[in-house]
């Protein structure tokens, strides 16, 4: 007989995105509590809490950044025998390492921005990088989320300064593209609605992602039917190419509206669930309110739990 296991909502952990994760976790916990037996646990360290029984509960990881999104938490949950919402360990790791995800997406026929990758210890010559990206560049960590560490360099001098400022970690420099920015939730392999992102100042950085009123969102986005269909197909293709499960969010920029040309910026396996987050906006376009969305996102984990 099928049953609903207790749902444990994880948030927190040790990462630059801890505070955002706690907000997501609170929102998800409150929504799920209306339909399921639910418990919220704020992690104070990057390891599983003791005392949880994988035969009685499943996990919703409302985690962002290191540990939660890089596959480490998912590997720990797999080893401990837990079912959990969202992508598995390998897909989480692939999508967190942006160059790996971009390579898979490009191999499957979807355009991505040209880029180079390097470590701070083996940094390329800053002047050479600036010449390679003569039309401007986005400089960002290759394994972080939420635009942490994002540098927008519009001139060759800014590119040089950006590269020289890097002191640790792995990074990527990619072409800076002008255009309309969109985001699409993918839920169980099907694209939801398209959200257009209109940040003040033109750059959707960490501040504009999480500061209410600093970005205007239009959903569903006002685009042609051809563009909508093409972007949704690309989102579903990226989801499948990276081995995603349950849900994800794919971000785009439209580089040429007349020709319906766009590129995938990145794919996120644990999208934010804060008041300004994109996945709930995307899902609302196909009829889900926040409570219904949260219930939908745990369906896969409940099904896997009951099939064991």
- CATH 3.30.1490.20 range(s) for the chain read 115-175
The CATH number of domain 115-175 is 3.30.470.10: no
Q: Is the pTM of this model over 0.85?
A: yes
Q: What is the pLDDT of residues 233-273, one digit of tens each?
A: 999 999 999 999 999 999 999 988 888 899 999 899 999 99
Q: If pLDDT is split at 50, 70 and 90, which confidence band does 1 have?
A: low
DSSP characters for 25-47?
HHHHHHHHTTTS-EEEEEESSSS
Question: What is the third-level CATH fold of 95-111+178-287?
Answer: D-amino Acid Aminotransferase; Chain A, domain 1 (3.30.470)
Give the model's pLDDT for residue 109.
95
CA distance 252 to 186: 13
Give the DSSP H/E element, type plus range, for residue 255: strand 247-256
Question: What is the third-level CATH fold of 6-85+294-307?
Answer: Rossmann fold (3.40.50)
Give the DSSP H/E element, type plus range, for residue 60: strand 57-61
Q: If pLDDT is split at 50, 70 and 90, which confidence band does 146 have?
A: very low
Tell me the pLDDT of the chain averaged across its residues.
90
Whether the per-residue pLDDT at 201 is higher than 80: the answer is no
């Amino acid at each position: 007989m099928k049953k609903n296991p207790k749902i444990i909502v994880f948030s927190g952990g040790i990462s630059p995105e801890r505070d955002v994760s706690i907000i997501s976790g609170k929102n998800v916990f409150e929504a799920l509590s209306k339909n399921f037996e639910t418990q919220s646990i704020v992690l104070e360290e990057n390891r599983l809490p003791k005392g949880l029984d994988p035969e009685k509960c499943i996990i919703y990881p409302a985690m962002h950044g290191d540990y939660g999104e890089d596959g480490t938490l998912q590997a720990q949950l797999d080893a401990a025998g837990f079912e959990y919402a969202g992508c598995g360990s390998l897909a989480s790791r692939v999508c967190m390492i942006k160059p790996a995800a971009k390579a898979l997406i490009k191999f499957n026929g979807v355009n991505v921005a040209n880029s180079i990758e390097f470590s701070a210890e083996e940094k390329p010559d800053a002047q050479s990088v600036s010449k390679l990206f003569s039309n401007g560049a986005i400089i960002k960590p290759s394994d972080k989320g939420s635009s942490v560490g994002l540098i927008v360099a519009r001139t060759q001098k800014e590119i040089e300064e950006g590269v020289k400022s890097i002191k640790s970690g792995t990074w990527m420099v990619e072409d800076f593209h002008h255009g309309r920015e969109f985001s699409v939730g993918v839920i169980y392999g099907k694209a939801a609605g398209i959200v257009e992102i209109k940040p003040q100042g033109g750059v959707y950085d960490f501040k504009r992602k999480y500061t209410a009123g600093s970005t205007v969102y239009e959903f569903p986005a006002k685009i042609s039917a051809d563009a909508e269909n093409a972007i949704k197909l690309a989102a579903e293709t990226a989801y499948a190419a990276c081995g995603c499960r349950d849900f994800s969010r794919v971000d785009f920029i439209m580089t040429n509206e007349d020709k319906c040309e766009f590129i995938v910026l990145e794919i996120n396996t644990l999208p934010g669930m804060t008041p300004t987050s994109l996945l709930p906006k995307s899902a609302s376009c196909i009829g889900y309110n926040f409570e219904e969305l949260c219930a939908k996102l745990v369906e896969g984990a409940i099904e896997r739990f009951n099939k064991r």
